[in-house]
Chains A and B, each alone.
Chain A
Amino acid sequence: MAQVVSAPAPAPQARRAQWPPVLRGFLWAAIGFVVLNTIVDIVDPFRGHPFVTGPSATLGWVGAVVGWLLGVGVWEGVALPLFGYPSRWIEPSTGWRRYFAYSTDHKVIGLQYLGSAMGGFLIAGLIAMFMRIELMSDHLTIFHYPTNYLTAVGIHGTIMMFSVANVALLGGFGNYMVPIMIGARGTAFPKLSGISAWLVPAGILSVLFSPLLGAWTTGWRGYQPLASQDPNGILFYYLGVAALTTSTFIVALNMVTTIMFRRAPGMTWGRLPLFAWGQVTVGLLVLIWIPEIQATFVMGLLEKLVPFNFFTATGSVLSYLELFWIFGHPEVYIIAVPVFALWNEIIPVMSQKSLFAREWAVIGLVFVMLLSGLVWAHHLFTNMRNSEILPFAFFTEMISIPTGFAYMAAIGTMWKGRVRLTTPMLLVLMSMFNFLIGGLTGVFLADPVVNLQLHDTFWVVGHFHYTVIGSIVFTGLAAVYYWLPKMSGRMYSEFWGKFLAITLFIFFNATFSQFFLLGLHGMNRWVPAYPAYLQPMNFEVSIISFFLGLAFAGQFVHIIWAWVKGPKAADNPWDARTPEWFTASPPPRENFPVQPEIVSSLYIYGAQQPVAVQLPAEEELAAARDESLEPEGGSPHE
């Protein structure tokens, strides 16, 4: 360690009474916004304009995000030590307050991500309810102008994609579980990871409050040149997404490096848990495509702000679409690959049967990753020449083959296994069914002739809701139930878990299967007013969707109840064999009392089942001895 030149830093004293970090974050964010907004107004005055203009709000936002991050604890935890100043920061190791401040504990960070994703889901879900209320009538009712409705659609889609789908399994379970699953005692870049978790609420709030600067009509894609014709609300779309994608990027960098370098001794690539494989493959996708879309969105922002004309009629309108979708379709697999991995993580445990064709399951993940960059132009079939369509149609249909490997491994594992139909298993099976429907309806869309008919109809909306909600949300809930005993030390109610899962499945399918019919009948996307003959079906779909909303709310209530009041769970209630089940529940600060070793495959069940994880006895004794010598109250974390 580096020596300090000045007098030794004083021993940590009792913490001074200070603002709760989140409140301080809001205050500093407000100060940051006002300061930078004012500076821009002074440097670049527009007489007759209001205090908050497009350029001032953009730089003000930068000040707000910096203030927010510093306020939640990055000031003491990162900024001061980075510049060599002594810091009084002490990371609490227990208590609920640590979840509302900057932290370097990957488990705390994981739960922060999960909390943000849940918050984002509830917000975006509530907005979806408003959209369905609007669509109960064939004319405008609760939204006064079509642009208001389109803004709601945009906020719904943006928050769902960038702060739920990208966040729950990657930032949430990735941060919490992957280090423990590979036998590591921390992540590669805990400080960076601690910062990134707090970018998610900043991004969600930016997008949510974007209408304060005006309506925007582009949906989650920020389409140019439409965006440049919108009022300034679109600026906060681009900025909010910048915060959210930066967070996802940091997660990927941290996870890939952690898996590369912090695996326990004996955790070879051949033994790596499937979920960790999913994180590596997705991490590589993120590291390639997120910088690409960030560059594109910066250009979109400049197009609106300066303004430039890259994507107007005098530039190249199609270029924006291409630059967006070259990220946009890999994005689907950024969401789906961890889902495939989780299926094959949970199914062997619940079937108590060795994972079938493990190598093929891994190869499937890798090839989905590779092919995902070759299918994107199927989103643009209506804008392309026939000769250009063919290769993208071909690869779009081909990607179903490695996807099928995930199904093959899952079904082969269940085959003649003793399947325990627990809540997580039930949700995984439901997710597989939903994704299958999403995939099969996607095959229709991969066919150019059909695509040209179904483009921009509710068929497409049904397809991607089956693909995205059907995969990420159902499997995400399965993961919550599966790891709840590990994260909280408590067990959920099997009755309520199954009841709510079945309810959710029924209402989900009753809602979104009818989207296909609506699409076939001519219901267009992006319209709050539509032909009268579609009204009865839309009315009925809206009623069912409200029950779907209630079913989701019921899930969250049950999970929170189980977390707080559920009965105590056994250490390894599922008889699982991955390393996270070989430590206490919830895991201690450094995950394991000593460094574990992996001595065999994690997916072998049955008579030949060896113990896969070993904790060296002499080190355990030494750790216990050290613990007994340590003063109480914990020690400050570096």
Chain B
Amino acid sequence: MSSRPVSPVTETIEKNPVLRRKMNRFGMSMFILSQVIPLIVLIDVRYLFVGLYVSPHLDQGVGLASALFMLLSMVVAWQVKTRAARGEDLTPRLKWVLLLGALALLALFYQWSWRLVSPADRFGEVYYTMTGFAVFYAVVGLVGLLSALSRARFQLPDPDDTWHLEAVSYLWTGIGLIWVLTYVVLFLI
């Protein structure tokens, strides 16, 4: 490879906040994409062990309500994410995301608490494992949302520094997607 003359140093993240933000988004995208792989494993397991069977003991209404809460929270989170990417601070809307996410979790816990699906049968094993994964991600996401709300109590909005807001809402969108896909695979197909 041949030599070339020295060019002005402008291509580093220290001097280029746009590049820094791209870097952060890339990292978060890679993380979310990588977490699709456990979902693929679980979907494989679902069809391997129970085929298309859906337990009649599942409460379809509660399952649907839980998925809808999560879907709504995703929509709001995506709004927050896209606006944060443009430098707008919609932190208060994260309270709605948090509330809807918590409702989705509560609906699922309600379903769990009835134990209508037995963990001792094959569908139950798949059901509790898949929903357990979704709950784990959701709890991590809720901690992230709480951190953004907590930070807002101490710091004034800064249009140049909305990455944290973008990050938690982006993460929550990914988690919501996993949740909704889990619902579709377990309850519908």
Contact = CB atoms under 8 A, between A and B. Distances in A.
Given A5-B156, A84-B150, A257 B26 contact: yes
A271 B3 CA distance: 11
Contacts of A595: 9, 12, 14
B37 A291 contact: yes
A249 B37 CA distance: 13
Could you say which of A84, A260, A595, A604 has the most chain B C-beta atoms within 10 Å of its C-beta?
A84
Contacts of A619: 9
Given A5-B156, A253-B31, A260-B23, A316 B49 contact: yes
26 contacts: A2-B151, A2-B161, A3-B156, A5-B153, A5-B154, A184-B12, A185-B14, A260-B26, A261-B13, A262-B23, A265-B7, A265-B11, A287-B33, A291-B35, A291-B38, A295-B37, A295-B41, A298-B133, A302-B129, A306-B125, A308-B119, A319-B48, A599-B3, A600-B1, A600-B3, A616-B9
Interface string B5-27: 11101111110000100111011
Given A291-B34, A295-B41, A270 B13 contact: no
Nearest to A295: B38
B2 A600 contact: yes
Contacts of B146: 83
Interface string A176-194: 0000000011001100000
Given A2-B158, A265-B12, A188 B23 contact: yes
Nearest to A260: B26
B155 interface: yes
Given A84-B155, A597-B9, A599-B4, A1 B161 contact: yes
Nearest to B156: A3
A365 interface: no
B27 A188 contact: yes
A605 interface: no
B147 interface: yes
A289 to B, nearest CB: 8
Contacts of A270: 1
B120 to A, nearest CB: 9
B59 to A, nearest CB: 22
Say whether chain A's binding surface is mostly helix, strand, loop, or mixed: loop
Contacts of B23: 188, 257, 260-262
Interface of B: 1-7, 9-14, 19, 22-24, 26-27, 30-31, 33-35, 37-38, 41-42, 45, 48-49, 119, 122, 125, 128-129, 132-133, 146-147, 150-158, 160-161
Contacts of B11: 265
B45 A299 contact: yes
A189 B122 CA distance: 41
Contacts of B7: 265-266, 597
A85 interface: yes
A600 B6 CA distance: 10
Interface string A44-70: 000000000000000000000000000
B115 to A, nearest CB: 13
A83 B150 contact: yes
A10 B161 CA distance: 22
A3 B155 contact: yes
A377 to B, nearest CB: 16
B125 A310 contact: yes
B182 to A, nearest CB: 13
Nearest to B10: A265
Contacts of A597: 6-7, 9
Interface of A: 1-6, 82-86, 184-185, 188-189, 249, 253-254, 256-257, 260-262, 264-266, 270-271, 287-288, 290-292, 294-296, 298-299, 302, 306, 308-310, 315-316, 319, 323, 595, 597, 599-601, 604, 610, 614, 616, 619
Contact of A308 (B27, B125, B150, B154): B125
A295 B133 CA distance: 9
A144 B121 CA distance: 39
Contact of B38 (A189, A271, A292): A292
A294 B34 CA distance: 11
A398 to B, nearest CB: 25
Given A2-B155, A315-B122, 13 more contacts: A4-B156, A84-B155, A184-B12, A189-B27, A261-B22, A262-B23, A265-B12, A271-B1, A291-B35, A302-B132, A308-B119, A604-B1, A619-B9
B1 A287 contact: no
Contacts of A298: 38, 129, 133
A313 B147 CA distance: 46
Given A84-B155, A288-B34, A309 B19 contact: no
Nearest to A594: B9
A616 B9 CA distance: 9
Contact of A82 (B34, B132, B147): B147
Contacts of A296: 41
Nearest to B161: A2
A2 B30 CA distance: 27
B30 A287 contact: yes
Contacts of A184: 12
Most buried by A among B2, B27, B35: B27
Contact of A4 (B13, B31, B154): B154
Contacts of A188: 23-24, 27
Nearest to A614: B6
Contacts of B155: 2-5, 84
Contacts of A5: 153-156
A287 B34 contact: yes
Contact of B119 (A257, A271, A306, A323): A306
A315 B3 contact: no
Nearest to A79: B147
Contacts of A249: 34
Nearest to A302: B129
Given A261-B19, A616-B9, A84 B151 contact: yes
A271 to B, nearest CB: 6
A156 B168 CA distance: 39
A610 B3 contact: yes
A12 to B, nearest CB: 18
A295 B35 CA distance: 10
Nearest to B160: A1
B38 A308 contact: no
Contact of B4 (A266, A308, A319): A266
B154 A6 contact: yes
Contacts of A265: 7, 9-12
